[in-house]
């Protein structure tokens, strides 16, 4: 790990990667703009460093950079990811002015996006023991996408496939809410067109995954739907409308979480977590 370089001028171009982080049009994580991956905080920055995304720089308070050095000293993957990466040491005031808000966590790192693997590459990369994957359609809320990746990682879901209408999984808020797990869990876009979607799911089925579409509009319970399945792909849709008919027709089976009368459906990330749990254990 390099030695931190103090930067005291908020206008210094070396801090451009973390400038205007909340700006609706200039923010550096916009795919149409710089399209950077932005990780924040002591927990997530090391996860970025250990991920497949090449780190560009780290900006932080002196004691946060010191803590990062300690983490890297104990984790060769983190150390490798930070090898040769410039570290900029800033005060809280300078970072607040650059980022546009008070980043009390005091540590932020950026990385370049890398080319997304194909669905097939992601599925090829799954270990032989993997039993559950996730398939999303129309999950357009960044917080829900982030929570979904957090739940997927925690419950041992090997990969996430994204269908049409899903929010950008590398948006800064997703990285944060997922606690960095979106950087570690392999994902790929299945493709929005009906043919690519069906082909993607057919590929899953050919690999032995039972594709289970989560929807309140069926009599079959989740427990019934996953019973006896060796491998399960848990498919969830947008909050509100849920999965499209088109998506559900490509599934092997529909499944509901039995809900109490007079209640609403659960949040999509919570429903998915229950689906992952039921499929896994």
Q: Which spans of this chain sit near a second copy (rule: CB under 8 A)?
A: 43, 147, 150-151, 153-156, 179, 181, 221-223, 257-260, 263-267, 269-270, 273-274, 277-278, 280-281
Q: How far is the CB of 263 from a second copy (least distance, A)?
A: 4
Q: How far is the CB of 1 from a second copy (least distance, A)?
A: 21
Between helices 268-280 and 142-154, what is the axis angle to 10°?
A: 20
Q: How far is the CB of 259 from a second copy (least distance, A)?
A: 5
Q: How far is the CB of 223 from a second copy (least distance, A)?
A: 6
- Give the nearer residue to a second copy in terms of CB position, either 126 or 266: 266
Q: How many CA atoms lie less than 13 Å away from 23 in the CB half-sphere?
A: 15
Q: How far is the CB of 157 from a second copy (least distance, A)?
A: 8
CA–CA distance, 46 with 50 (Å, rounded to integer): 6
- Give the nearer residue to a second copy in terms of CB position, either 9 or 224: 224
- Give the nearer residue to a second copy in terms of CB position, either 195 or 263: 263
Return the closest-CA partner of residue 35 out of 43, 44, 26: 26
- Give the nearer residue to a second copy in terms of CB position, either 68 or 278: 278
Sign of CA dihedral 178, 183, 186, 187: positive
- Give the nearer residue to a second copy in terms of CB position, either 78 or 190: 78
Return the closest-CA partner of residue 225 out of 276, 279, 268, 266: 279
Return the closest-CA partner of residue 197 out of 158, 231, 164: 164
């Amino acid at each position: 790990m390099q030695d931190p370089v103090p930067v005291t001028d908020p206008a210094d171009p070396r801090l451009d990667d973390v400038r205007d982080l909340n700006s609706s049009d200039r923010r550096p994580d916009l795919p149409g703009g710089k399209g950077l991956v932005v990780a924040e905080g002591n927990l997530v920055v090391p996860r970025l460093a250990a991920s497949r995304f090449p780190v560009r720089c780290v900006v932080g308070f002196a004691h946060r950079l010191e803590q990062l050095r300690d983490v890297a000293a104990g984790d060769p993957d983190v150390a490798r990811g930070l090898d040769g990466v410039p570290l900029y040491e800033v005060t809280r005031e300078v970072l607040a002015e650059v980022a546009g808000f008070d980043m009390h966590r005091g540590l932020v790192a950026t990385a370049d996006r890398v080319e997304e693997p194909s669905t097939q590459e992601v599925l090829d990369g799954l270990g032989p023991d993997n039993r559950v994957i996730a398939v999303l359609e129309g999950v357009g809320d960044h917080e829900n996408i982030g929570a979904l990746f957090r739940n997927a990682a925690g419950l041992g879901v090997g990969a996430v496939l994204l269908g049409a209408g899903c929010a950008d999984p590398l948006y800064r808020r997703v990285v944060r809410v997922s606690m960095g797990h979106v950087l570690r869990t392999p994902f790929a876009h299945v493709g929005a067109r009906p043919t690519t979607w069906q082909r993607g799911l057919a590929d899953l089925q050919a690999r032995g995954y039972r594709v289970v579409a989560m929807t309140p509009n069926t009599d079959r319970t989740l427990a019934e739907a996953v019973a006896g399945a060796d491998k399960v792909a848990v498919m969830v849709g947008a909050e509100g409308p849920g999965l499209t008919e088109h998506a559900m027709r490509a599934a092997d089976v529909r499944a509901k979480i039995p809900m109490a009368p007079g209640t609403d459906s659960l949040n999509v990330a919570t429903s998915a977590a229950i689906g992952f749990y039921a499929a896994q254990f």
